[in-house]
Amino acid sequence: MIRISKILVANFFLFIFTIFSVAFAQGSVTVTGTDLTPTFSQGTSTPIVSLSFSNINNTLGQARITNIQVDRTGTATVDDVEFVRLYEDANKNNIVDGGETQLDIKWFLGSPGSLTFIIPDPYYLPTTTKNLLIVYDVKAGANTSHTAGAMMLSTYISDNSGGLTVITFTGMTTGNQPLPVELTSFTASVQNETVNLKWETATEVNNCGFEIQRRNTEIRNQKSEWKKIAFIQGCGNSNSPKEYSFEDKNLQAGKLQYRLKQIDFDGKFEYSNAVEVNFDAPVNLVLDQNYPNPFNPTTTIKYEIPKNSFVKLSIYDLLGREISTLVNQAQNAGYHEVTFNAKDLSSGIYVYQIQAGEFSRIKKMLLVK
């Protein structure tokens, strides 16, 4: 996985690793611990553990959590993670989406090591289920080779009688997950009628590849939507830097934006930040010589349109008879190309002509079979 930017997805893969039904002095409560198997992303708050308190039965009417103890595991340092937070997850969806109440916050202080969340007094458990989230704040410059996780130690619950019950989470440990791997660079530049895209990764884990997406923000009367234009295969797993490139051709003039959709082998994906270039329209109507020429049976014809026009591109024989119409539609200013297949024609010289608005160009080509 090349971790680029955080995508909030509701359907986490959850592993419930400990369930307790705990009796205290004046009642009982069921505590469920869930490893959220986090996907860490730089500069984000990532939930790692969910604690659910349910089936609450207290004869005195109220019970409360007093503190929660957690061990920090993995190899992450203070340069990777800044804070560890304890939230009440009001939406009960195991993600940080603005529906949380922060109960406590601690400095990370590196791993391994333990910390204790002190719960505000009074913090009562209602008769309905209450969810808590333990969250790591990953720094923007997190080391991509480090991992982070957590091991639950103890949770303290008291009731109105003054009794105190300790829940010991024996063996309740999350798997240490890799911190994010980011793109080290992603650039776009214009060269003649081509946009050159280049990007580099530091390391790769489970990387199927990159879907390249483009949108033109200056096309009138059209929605500026992202469109897939290519897919570049990734290196799967790699501990060394990898470089990638792609040439985008046959473009319409305008302000072009590009982004990468990095896709894992298991279908998970994340988007890069977008890069932007100004792609200017040609100055004149240009009709290039077909290539290859001579050809058999297919050849490519490129042309340039200086402004939005209705374009007709046709093939004629030497007697002036129209053999085929390759283009007959309105097109935007920019660089275009079309393929001509002459499999049903005999060898000889043919003429191709383009008309764009009030302008016209004509050239010859040779079919040799």
Assign residue 326 the CATH number of its domain.
2.60.40.3080
pLDDT at 289: 97
137 and 209 belong to one structural domain = no
pLDDT at 247: 94
249 and 330 belong to one structural domain = no
pLDDT band at 223 (very low <50, low <70, confident <90, very high): low
241 and 349 belong to one structural domain = no
274 and 290 belong to one structural domain = no
90 and 196 belong to one structural domain = no
Q: Is the residue at 10 inside a domain?
A: no
pLDDT at 56: 61
pLDDT at 198: 94
292 and 238 belong to one structural domain = no
Average pLDDT over residues 167-178: 54
pLDDT at 178: 58
- Predicted confidence (pLDDT) per residue in 12-38, tens digit: 223 334 444 444 445 566 777 777 777
Written as six digits, the tokens of 238 are 């790699």
pLDDT band at 235 (very low <50, low <70, confident <90, very high): confident
Q: Is the residue at 164 inside a domain?
A: yes
Domain that holds residue 331: 286-367
Q: How many domains does the chain have?
A: 3
21-25, 179-183, 319-323, 326-330: segment of lowest average pLDDT: 21-25
Q: Is the residue at 113 inside a domain?
A: yes
Residues in CB range of 116: below 8 A, 6 or more apart? 67, 68, 69, 70
271 and 290 belong to one structural domain = no
3-state secondary structure at position 32: strand
pLDDT at 24: 43
Beta strands in 36-174, from DSSP E residues, in sequence order:
45-58, 63-74, 81-89, 100-107, 113-118, 124-125, 130-138, 147-159, 164-168
Please state, for a pLDDT cut of 90, what percent of the chain lies above it.
28
Q: Is the residue at 302 inside a domain?
A: yes
CA distance 303 to 301: 7
Q: Is the residue at 8 inside a domain?
A: no
Would the pLDDT of 60 be above 70?
no
Q: Count the helices and strands in the chain (H runs, E runs).
A: 0, 27
73 and 170 belong to one structural domain = yes
39 and 144 belong to one structural domain = yes
Q: Is the residue at 299 inside a domain?
A: yes
Would the pLDDT of 88 be above 60?
yes
Please state, for a pLDDT cut of 70, what percent of the chain lies above it.
76
> Where does a domain end: 224, 251, 279?
279
Q: Mean pLDDT, the chain, as a whole number? A: 78
Q: What is the CATH number of the domain that holds 78?
A: 2.60.40
Q: What is the pTM of this model?
A: 0.46
36 and 164 belong to one structural domain = yes
Residues in CB range of 334: below 8 A, 6 or more apart? 250, 251, 252, 253, 254, 279, 281, 282, 304, 305
